[in-house]
């Protein structure tokens, strides 16, 4: 009698927040991206978390996982990491996430562990590889709207806000089988200069990079300004993006464990 099927484990990089509870007291919390981890579970992966892992443990911990997920957060990547001073006093940063995520990104790419970053997570990926970010998209002239309204409902916040256009003949066009599609957008930062080894795969109509990947097709390492984990069941492009990540994680597990790879049942045909 065979045992339960192996499940790929995905390291969801934690965020660190000072939150106010019902009593009014503020307390530090370590949190995981909720939508991202639920999507991982619903697509047959198992979220894992190693918060504040010291650098000397990263190699060993990475050896036991099949993917890295860099989810969204309302904090910003520290601009001092690419040589700029913060433009606005109200920015919130997460220095512990920056330190762990950026070291982990570089190691994961070197070890060919799949990496998926969306929203703030895509900014982690870009800055980890030497790129830079626009700090405040709302203050730039001629931009389509890439940020949410504080009075919007949650569904409105994650609804499609503008279109993105794939690089003709590029990898994202092949994955999604679409050249242009509507996408969500809800962050004030965005790619200014792509990091070393990264290739743009889609842009908004204002020219902002909306999707990029590591240049080597043998390594799945993608960043998205938008949120493919929201609406992945019904949005064709999102579903196919998430299927590609799940497939990469399963392939990694097969290499890591020697277990036969199970066929992927696509969420979106």
Q: What is the pLDDT of residues 7-52, one digit of tens each?
A: 999 999 999 988 887 888 889 999 998 889 999 999 999 999 999 9
Is 203 noted as a catalytic residue in this protein? Answer: no
Average pLDDT (61-87) is 95
- What are the counts of helices (DSSP H) followed by strands (DSSP E) for the chain? 7, 13
Domains of the chain and any CATH numbers = 9-257 (3.40.50.880)
Q: How many CB atoms lie within 10 A of CB 129?
A: 20
Q: What is the pLDDT of residues 186-241, one digit of tens each?
A: 888 999 999 999 999 999 999 999 999 999 999 999 999 999 999 899 999 999 99
To the question of pTM greater than 0.75 for the whole model, the response is: yes
Exposure of 6 by Cβ count < 10 A (0-12 exposed, 13-18 middle, 19+ buried)? middle
Residue of 102, 134, 227, 235 marked active site? 227
Residue of 119, 134, 201, 210 marked active site? 119
Q: Is the pLDDT of residue 261 over 80?
A: no
The pLDDT, as a whole number, for residue 153 is: 79
The count of C-alpha atoms lying within 13 angstroms of the C-alpha of 105, restricted to the half-sphere facing its C-beta, is 30
Exposure of 66 by Cβ count < 10 A (0-12 exposed, 13-18 middle, 19+ buried)? buried
Q: What is the pLDDT of residues 107-151, one digit of tens each?
A: 999 999 999 999 999 999 999 999 999 999 988 998 888 877 777
**E strand segments, 32-184:** 46-48, 67-70, 115-118, 132-134, 162-166, 180-183
Is 49 noted as a catalytic residue in this protein? Answer: no
Is 146 noted as a catalytic residue in this protein? Answer: no
Residue of 146, 201, 229, 235 marked active site? 229
Average pLDDT (65-70) is 98
Closest of 251, 23, 225 to residue 137, by C-alpha: 225
């Amino acid at each position: 009698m065979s045992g339960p099927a192996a499940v790929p484990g995905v390291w969801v990089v934690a965020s660190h927040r000072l939150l106010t509870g019902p009593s009014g007291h503020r307390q530090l919390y370590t949190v995981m991206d909720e939508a991202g981890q639920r999507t991982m579970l619903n697509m047959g992966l198992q979220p894992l978390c190693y918060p504040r892992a010291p650098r000397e443990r990263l190699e060993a911990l990475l050896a036991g996982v099949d993917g890295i997920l860099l989810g969204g957060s309302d904090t910003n990547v520290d601009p001092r990491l690419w040589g700029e001073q913060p433009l606005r006093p109200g920015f919130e940063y997460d220095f512990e996430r920056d330190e762990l995520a950026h070291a982990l990104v570089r190691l994961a790419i070197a070890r060919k562990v799949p990496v998926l970053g969306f929203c703030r997570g895509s900014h982690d990926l870009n800055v980890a590889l030497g790129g830079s970010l626009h700090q405040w998209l709302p203050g730039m002239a001629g931009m389509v709207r890439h940020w949410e309204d504080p009075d919007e409902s949650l569904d409105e916040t994650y609804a499609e806000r503008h279109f993105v256009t794939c690089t003709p003949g590029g990898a994202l066009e092949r994955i999604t089988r679409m050249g242009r599609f509507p996408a969500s957008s809800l962050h004030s930062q965005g790619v200014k200069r792509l990091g070393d080894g990264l290739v743009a795969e889609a842009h908004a109509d204002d020219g902002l990079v909306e999707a990029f990947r590591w240049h080597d097709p043998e390594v799945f390492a993608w960043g998205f300004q938008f949120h493919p984990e929201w609406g992945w069941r019904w949005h064709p492009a999102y579903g196919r993006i998430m299927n590609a990540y799940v497939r990469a994680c399963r392939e990694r597990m097969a290499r890591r464990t020697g277990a036969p790879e199970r066929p992927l049942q696509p969420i979106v045909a």
